[in-house]
Amino acid sequence: MKSLKFSLLFIITLAWSCCVYGQKSSLKPTKNQSAIPHFKIHIHYPEAEKGDQFGFNVSTHTPVSRLAGSSEFKQFVISQSAEGDYEIDLPLSPDQINKGIYVTAFDINNGTKPMVDSNSKSNFNLSAEILDNYFFQYGDNVVVDVKRKPGYQPGIAAMNNFVLKFQGNGHDKCQLRSDVDSMRYAQDFIYDYCTTDSSFVKKNHSVILAHKLLSYLNPYSKLMNYQAFEELKIHAFFSSAAAEALGTRMFVHERCKQSSKEFKAKFAHDLDISDTLRWSGFNRQSLYDSYDFWKSEVEKYYAVSDIQNHKWFADSLTSPISKITDSEIKERLYLLLATEFSGSFHNYTAYLQNASPYITTAKGKALLRELVRTTVGQKAFNFNLTDVNGSNIKLSDFKGKVVFVDFWYTGCENCRSYYDSVLSKVEEKYKSRPDIVFITISIDKNKDFWVKSLQGGHYTSKTAINLRTNGKGMDDDAIRFYDVQTFPRPLIIDRDQIIFKIDGSLREEYALINAINEASSL
């Protein structure tokens, strides 16, 4: 197995770490809570600077909001109880007592000095993730000692930043999880596939590393309950598969640039079916509830689409997902891709229509109805937001005009690129058309950062109608209505306040111009 000259780093998206946390909580149990089942985590992080706060994501299934049907999702910000000490003590619901919970913890501030975006000249804090989707159970009382590794750098994978030592009740599964993560290494999967026979993927795809990790875990199976051990096994296997799929997507075109279309088609097919052959090796309900499983599946299908189409093309995934034999996995993947990549589809309406026959549960049908609500031909949401002068602006103020709307945030490189290469040119083209309006909506919570970004002119123009979600960040009705998960997120509303177009094609200049022309000709 040849080593790659690169290492795969998991990037922490700034939007989520900078924007979604707004309420402090000491999370101390009250007297009325003392009799309620709960769990505790004490993080001891002496290198944390004075004033640093911790963000905690807690949920029954997974800390990634909406991923794989997550439920009871909560977010907290905690200040230091003493220098370098952070404590969380939470009551558990009956569902959490039975299923356990997943916790992500990260240092929001990384010191009192904020990071600076050198391009927009806007300040923002870069988070340092310490616990990444760790599994905890009723009765756990874990102490985590955190020490930075040499070369510590905020914004990269926790295993590259910290040495973690766990003590207390429930520490064994946490320490094993940390050990498993530290054993990962880069492997040249693409090279190996290209130089072996067609059976390679079925026999060896992510197996070499994953089986090494599983072998490491097996001796500890009797030291913890079945649920905790099954979760560790799923993490070991599917976190490796996710990293491999990510690497494949990033480098497949460079490695296979001389390969034929037939070869790439076979590569995509083999990658598609590879881990499906091994689902039976795990408890199916544990798979359904696992963050790592769904993350791996998303990364895999992202890679499959990239290989098949020479670029990420979400629409193409309808066919491979329809062939999945497990009806629950099929339904959840259709909905997961629809929610997480809603802005990437060229024909979002067609995707939902194709997915509809496979959405059979009451919960799935309810979510599908919510998604259809934001498709072409539906009534647009009448937002009421403030501009830079504090004036209230409603969508209904522009009835009778064609309205372009885009969502962005300070620090979003894709948003900067979109404005520079597409939106600024399109705005210039229609500057003499009073019947065509350009509106931008920022999720920046900090008004000063937002104003600086407007003044810098890297994300939007001064002639556009620039609004923000009134300090609510992602927790705004407009964000929820349009299910904004990715940025930028452009859409066009016609003169009757009906959604005319809302898909990934609007990120391309010619498609955006054509859509505006079509909407204005009605």
pLDDT in tens, the chain (522 residues): 333 333 333 322 323 333 333 333 333 434 444 467 788 899 999 988 777 888 888 877 655 444 444 456 677 788 888 888 998 888 888 888 888 888 888 887 654 344 333 333 333 344 577 888 899 988 899 999 999 888 777 656 666 778 899 999 999 999 988 888 877 554 555 555 555 544 444 444 455 666 677 777 878 888 888 888 888 888 888 887 777 777 777 776 676 666 677 777 777 777 777 666 667 778 888 888 887 888 888 888 888 888 877 777 778 888 888 888 888 889 988 988 887 777 678 788 888 889 999 999 988 888 888 787 777 888 999 999 999 999 999 999 999 999 999 999 888 888 999 999 999 999 999 999 999 999 999 998 888 889 989 999 999 999 999 999 988 888 899 988 887 877 888 999 999 999 998 877 888 898 899 999 999 987
- Contacts of range 7-11, beta carbons closer than 8 Å, 24 or more positions apart: 7/186, 8/186, 8/243, 8/246, 8/247, 8/250, 9/156, 9/157, 9/160, 10/156, 10/157, 11/155, 11/156
Token readout for 472 is 């609510």
What letter does residue 423 receive in the DSSP assignment?
I
Alpha carbons 210 and 316: distance in angstroms, whole number: 29
Residue (of 235, 110, 224, 123) closest to 178 by Cα position: 235
What pLDDT does residue 344 have?
Answer: 75
| Residue 410: predicted pLDDT | 87
Contacts of 285 (CB under 8 A, 6+ apart): none
Give the pLDDT score at 258. 66
Q: Report d(CA 64, CA 295) in Å as an integer.
A: 10
Nearest to 156 by CA among 113, 118, 106: 106
pLDDT score of 167: 94
Contacts of 501 (CB under 8 A, 6+ apart): 376, 491, 492, 515, 519
How do beta strands 38-44 and 141-148 pair?
parallel
Among residues 50, 143, 128, which one has the least CA distance to residue 89? Answer: 143
Q: pTM (2 decimals)?
A: 0.64
Question: β-pairing, 491-493 with 499-501?
Answer: antiparallel
Q: What is the pLDDT of residue 114?
A: 41
Vertex 300, ends 412 and 60: CA angle to 5°? 75
Block residue for tokens 């696992």: 290
Q: For the structural domain made of 384-520, what CATH number should be given? A: 3.40.30.10
* CA dist list (Å): 372 to 11, 63, 350, 355: 31, 25, 10, 11
Domain residue spans in the chain?
A: 14-182, 189-372, 384-520
Contacts of 362 (CB under 8 A, 6+ apart): none
- Among residues 494, 490, 493, 491, the alpha carbon closest in space to that of 521 is found at 494
Q: Could you give the CA distance from residue 359 to residue 419 in angstroms, rounded to a whole number?
A: 37
- What pLDDT is stored for residue 431 in this prediction? 92
